[in-house]
Amino acid sequence: MDTATHITMGIALGGIATADPAISENPVLFGAVLVGTIVGSHAPDFDTVLKLKSNAVYLRHHRGITHSIPLVLFWGWFISFLIYIAVPNLDYGTLYRWTALAVVIHVFVDIFNAYGTQALRPFSNRWIALGFINTFDPVIFVAHIIGFVLWGLGLNPTIVFLTIYFLLIFYYIKRYLEKKAMVKKLTLYFGDVEGVYASPTIKQSIWRLAITTENSFYVARSIDGTIQIVHKFDRVPLPNNRLIATAKTDKNVAAFLSFSSVYRHEITEYDHYTEVRFIDLRYRAKDHYPFVAVVNISNNLDILSSYTGWVFSEEKLQDKLLIEE
């Protein structure tokens, strides 16, 4: 989920925590728990600082180790410990339980997005991405805002937010069934479908789709249940040669390939170098595919420059490649 939704969930969890008499009767403990649930609800996404190092490092690790089982346990302990040091003589057990629960909820709700998480590490490095809730879902966000208003009007926050979450369960089921019906329709239409990447948009009726068949890639949209094919690409295997082997050693390309599940490639030869470009088909904006990895390799198989990330014009991409040289 996005940062705003994670934080609203942390505040809501702090409200639910008032069901515990030890918290509702102790304003200092309530304040500490509220801080713990707010910070804990965002803590796994502290890995966004990796962008300061490079896009390659960010792609390899975002929602990876920071969302793993060991780090989930660490975040709960670390945040509650810092709060306890700042405000001693609190019930540490109560503070820890609610803070740790906020961290767990963060990782749990992230698996419903198209991006997903590696929540089962270290037991499995598989990405869990159920892909039927948008990163920012206005229904979920507005439901929390309504809850805050009702809380501000004096209603019991525990009852308010437990009711909201109970209703959101049905919303999640609805979105899951919508995705399931859409994938079934695609499978019946194409017949030889090997994979469907579905990404919900902020609009309830519109989904972005990337479909893999035996011989083709299809980029499509689902609008009110109607499938619209936007682009079709031949599914061409990567050549097994020294050029591609060299490209795969580049840190930006390696990071892209570790993250992207549906992509095509282009190889363009120039006088003194060859450009190898990988294009993720899951993301499309106005007929442009902004998420790419590009590496320029000399005729002697030396890597001249490379880049991976989101760019929305060829001019900006070439500027970034020049910066990398």
Q: Tell me the per-residue pLDDT of 88-110, one tens digit each, with 9 for 90 and over.
A: 889 999 999 999 999 999 999 99
- The separation between CA 176 and the C-alpha centre of its own chain, rounded to angstroms, equals 17
Q: Is 175 exposed, middle or buried (0-12, 13-18, 19+ CB in 10 A)?
A: buried
Q: Is 217 exposed, middle or buried (0-12, 13-18, 19+ CB in 10 A)?
A: buried
Determine the pLDDT at residue 324: 43
First to last CA, the chain: 35
CA atoms within 13 A on the CB side of 262: 27
Contact between 292 and 311 (Cβ < 8 Å): yes
- The separation between CA 161 and the C-alpha centre of its own chain, rounded to angstroms, equals 25
Integer angstrom CA distances of residue 316 from 59, 296, 312, 321, 322: 20, 16, 7, 9, 10
Q: Which residues contact 172 (CB under 8 A, 6 or more apart)?
A: 112, 132, 133
3-class DSSP assignment, residue 162: helix
What's the mean pLDDT in 138-166?
A: 97
Name the pLDDT band for 317 (thresholds 50, 70, 90): confident
Q: Which residues pair with 206 in a beta bridge?
A: 223
- For residue 42, the 8-state DSSP code is T
Q: Write out pLDDT tens, residues 167-192.
A: 999 999 999 999 999 999 998 888 88
Name the pLDDT band for 129 (thresholds 50, 70, 90): confident
- For residue 76, the 8-state DSSP code is H
* Confidence (pTM): 0.86
